[in-house]
Amino acid sequence: MKAVSTFFLIVTLSLSLSAGAYADSSEIRDIEKKIRKESTSIIARLEGKVYVMDFTDAQNPKYTSDFGQLVFSLLSNFLVNQESRKYDIVEGRELVKVMSQESMLFGNAETSEKMLEQVSKAGMGTLVTGDYKSDGSSIVIHIKATNAKTGDVIASTLIPIDSNQKLEDMLRRKFSITATYNDKEAKESRAIGAVSEPVVKSAILDDPTVPLNVGVWTDKKEYRKGEKIKIYLKGNKPFYCRVVYNDASGKLIQLLPNPYRKENYFNGGAIYEIPSGKDDFELEVEPPFGTESVVVYASTAEIGEIDLKASGGVYEVKTSIEEIGIHTRGVGIKKKASNSNDKKSQEAEHAVASIMLKTF
């Protein structure tokens, strides 16, 4: 069995598309409709490489919540699935590599200028950020797009929605969005009820009527030399995907599909485990250690090809990080629609979920 380096989970820094828990499907669809309607002006101004940040609590920008993750997920999916767009959504690990060198703290208002500097250094053209604030009866979502090079706000919008007990509960489930491994920050996060893994039983991952969403998580938080981990993934509807990880040295490995488990079609609502079944490898922690990531590229249509080289029970990825997502969405063939209603159902949906991890 081939040993492959593994990881330590840190809270969300990436284009993770899992969502908040316990909101009804109808409520999620209503929020989604408002985000789609009010984000048109934002989309019109986006171009080049775009990075979407986690949505934060306006009163405490060091923290997000289940509600913030829900809004982040809905907006990210909307941006990814735009046809004829002039921009590319960039996965979190591209930015994290640069930011981790500076030990930066995401969500800290005092470092906003430094954050834009690092986003620009990582090659991003636009940073999409947002926050939210509740007065108990309504929640106002604020979305803005900022030019990474100049720091100028190029577009913004406010989205008011009616609140209720379920949404308020989601707002109260907060967790830190720091990109450091500072013990003090970790203690603060735990003190306010930080979540330790993606909310895999959320309404959005069980609702096939909303756009494609995928969630990815691991069996525990921390891994040391010699330990083995399991990765789990779930989608809200049938999907094709590839699972890739980027180790501390920058090497890209495709875990699924692999030489022994070529199937890359998954049913919605089911939880899948990696490695399992026909897989001929184990995920055992070994050097090099450091910050790493697991990324799931998913689509409702068959995914495009990338340059791979067999390496035991997995594939070494030769395609660059920047192009993996593009090639995943590269199959643009659609069945001819017999009417306007059929056309919508044939359009491919795409989603990207990722977790950042660290080995010791």
Q: Residue 264 has which token pair?
A: 């890359």
- The reply to whether 5 and 74 lie within a common domain is no
Q: Is residue 219 located within the same domain as residue 167?
A: no
Same domain, 7 and 43: no
228 and 100 both lie in a single domain: no
Q: Look up the CATH number of the domain holding residue 350.
A: 2.60.40.2550
Structure tokens of 167? 């949404």
Check whether residue 185 and residue 205 sit in a common domain: no
pLDDT at residue 96 in the model: 52
Q: Do 256 and 246 belong together in one domain?
A: yes
pLDDT at 189: 33
Answer yes or no: do 64 and 156 share one domain: yes
Run of H or E including 165: helix 165-172
CATH number at residue 146: 3.40.50.10610
pTM (2 d.p.) = 0.59
Tell me: do 113 and 236 sit in the same domain. Answer: no
CA dihedral 129, 299, 7, 123 (to 10 degrees): -40
Residues 7 and 39 both lie in one domain = no
- Tens of pLDDT along the chain (360 residues) come to 334 433 222 222 233 333 334 567 788 888 989 999 999 989 989 988 888 888 889 998 878 888 888 888 888 888 887 877 888 877 555 555 544 444 333 333 344 566 677 667 767 788 898 999 999 999 999 999 998 888 899 999 999 999 999 899 889 877 665 433 333 333 333 333 323 334 434 567 778 887 888 888 887 777 889 999 889 999 989 999 999 988 888 889 999 999 999 999 999 989 999 999 899 999 999 998 887 888 899 999 998 889 999 999 999 999 887 678 766 665 433 444 445 444 443 578 888 887 877 788
Asked if residue 335 lies in contact with residue 71, where contact means CB atoms within 8 angstroms, the answer is no
For the record, the structure tokens of 160 come out as 């008011």
The answer to whether residues 343 and 300 belong to one domain is yes
Final residue of a structural domain among 197, 217, 233: 197
pLDDT of residue 265: 95
CA distances from residue 344 to 207, 336, 338, 356 in whole angstroms, order as listed: 18, 11, 11, 34
Name the DSSP letter for residue 339.
S
- Give dist(CA 185, CA 176) in Å, integer: 7
Helix H or strand E segment including 35: helix 25-38
Q: What is the DSSP letter of 74?
A: H
Please state the domain count of the chain: 2
pLDDT of residue 358: 79
Q: What is the pLDDT of residue 315?
A: 96
Residue where one domain finishes, among candidates 162, 197, 232: 197
Q: Tell whether 134 and 260 lie within a shared domain.
A: no
Domain with 162 in it:
19-197
Q: Are residues 258 and 327 in the same domain?
A: yes
Where a domain ends, among 197, 215, 231?
A: 197
